[in-house]
Structure 1
Amino acid sequence: MSAATELKTDPQSYLKQERLSKEKHEFINHEIFAMSGASATHNLIVLNIGAELRSQLKQGPCLTYPSDLRVQVADNYVYPDISVVCEKPEFIDQDNLLNPQIIIEVLSPSTADYDRGGKFALYRQLGSLQEYLLVAQDRPYIEHYVRQDTHSWLLNEYQGLETILTLPSLQCQLALNEVYAKVVWE
């Protein structure tokens, strides 16, 4: 997340601007934040995960959405890297998803702290959210949070290309060698 582009505004003004904008912006606590471009590695990992999920979920009701779909949390609007919905998708204004079951963020140096902290705090407000994944792009490593009840989450850490992560709410798996396929670390 980059610096706020405006000091304060209201959700309706943000949505009006955002629908006309060529760039993406998140709206947090009445402030607008420009989304910076993602690295080639970031994009490759997002595509790898999305392709794996779509392939495993294509026969069932689940839908996998890329980062252009906005998620609404109260009066805040964010763009997860990937979101998955297995119930009927619920939208406000047809372009603000309300009920993701899984959200995945690929960590960038500029967003890692926010993704782990403030953004996860926002996401935890979603009653539909069952799992949250934070995916490193500098090494094969994933933090996997699974909702235990309303106020507690279980963290499991996965590392190494030989590791397979199970997504219990989707009844599917992510092999880290597929998540990081063709990724070259310096």
Structure 2
Amino acid sequence: MLVQSKQKFYTLDEYRELEETAEFRNEYRDGEIVQMTGGTINHSRIIRNLSRILGNLLEGQPYELFHNDLRLWIPRYRRGTYPDVMVIAGDPIFNDGRKDEILNPVLIVEVLSKSTKDFDKEDKFRFYRSIPEFREYVLVNQSEFLVTQYIKTESNDWLFREYEGESATVSFASVEVQMSMSEIYAKVVFETQETEVQA
């Protein structure tokens, strides 16, 4: 017979204290601490490309880009998470006056992995939609040239777009800039390409 151990729940302050000295980043899910999985080289390359090129495109505009080392706090769902890339319009709004938790991204980009893609597409998107400033959600597939996008309209509906193929250009509506798929996927090697090289 299996004996299930009692799950420990943490206060937000306990989580924050642990996170300050943690070797790996952890998400906070309403009392539960969940260790984040490590990323692949393609995952890292896509984040690097987005951070560098999108950051350059936003230079001199009233936006600021952050990548996956700054925590986003979602008050309604009591969640602390680390989006792969997020953009803020104007000044960051900090949670509880802290400098490591922000509240107000307009754009969030997540690079999908096999272990998190369903959560990113469904539950995490629902959590993000509770953020008043949030206007755009972009999901980048790391296994093929495929980007999906959700844009919040003035009537508070969400418009879905999909970009496919190496020649496509992704329009980031909330910040009014564009990136080509070849820029987003620079130096990314898909598994099928690796197999062809080995054969």
TM over 0.5: yes
2:168 paired residue among 155, 163, 176 = 163
Q: Does 1:140 align with 2:141?
A: no
Moved over 4 A (4+): none
Greater shift, 7-16 or 124-133, is seen at 7-16
1: CA distance, partners of 2:55 / 2:25: 24
**Post-superposition shift, 1:155?**
0.8
1: CA distance, partners of 2:100 / 2:175: 23
Q: Does 1:8 align with 2:9?
A: yes
Q: Structure 2 unaligned runs (5+)?
A: 1-6, 192-199
Flag the structure with higher helix content: 2
Q: Structure 1 unaligned runs (5+)?
A: 1-5
2: CA distance, partners of 1:151 / 1:125: 12
2: CA distance, partners of 1:169 / 1:81: 17
Q: Helix, strand or coil: the match of 2:50?
A: helix
Provide the TM-score with structure 2 as the length reference.
0.87
Give the structure 2 partner of residue 42 of structure 1.
43
User: Amino acid of the residue matched to residue 84 of structure 1?
Assistant: V
User: Amino acid of the residue matched to residue 52 of structure 2?
Assistant: A
The count of residues paired between Structure 1 and Structure 2 equals 181
Give the structure 2 partner of residue 29 of structure 1.
30
**1:22-171 mapped onto 2 (5 Å cutoff):** 22-74=23-75, 75-92=78-95, 93-149=98-154, 151-171=156-176
Give the structure 1 partner of residue 196 of structure 2.
none
2:186 paired residue among 154, 160, 181 = 181
Q: Helix, strand or coil: the match of 2:54?
A: helix
Q: Helix, strand or coil: the match of 1:80?
A: coil
Report the aligned-residue RMSD: 1.2
Q: Identical aligned pairs, as a percentage?
A: 33
> 1:129-184 CA deviation, whole Å, 9 max, x = no partner?
11000100000101100012475211101111100111122110121110001111
1: CA distance, partners of 2:94 / 2:178: 27
User: Amino acid of the residue matched to residue 20 of structure 1?
Assistant: T
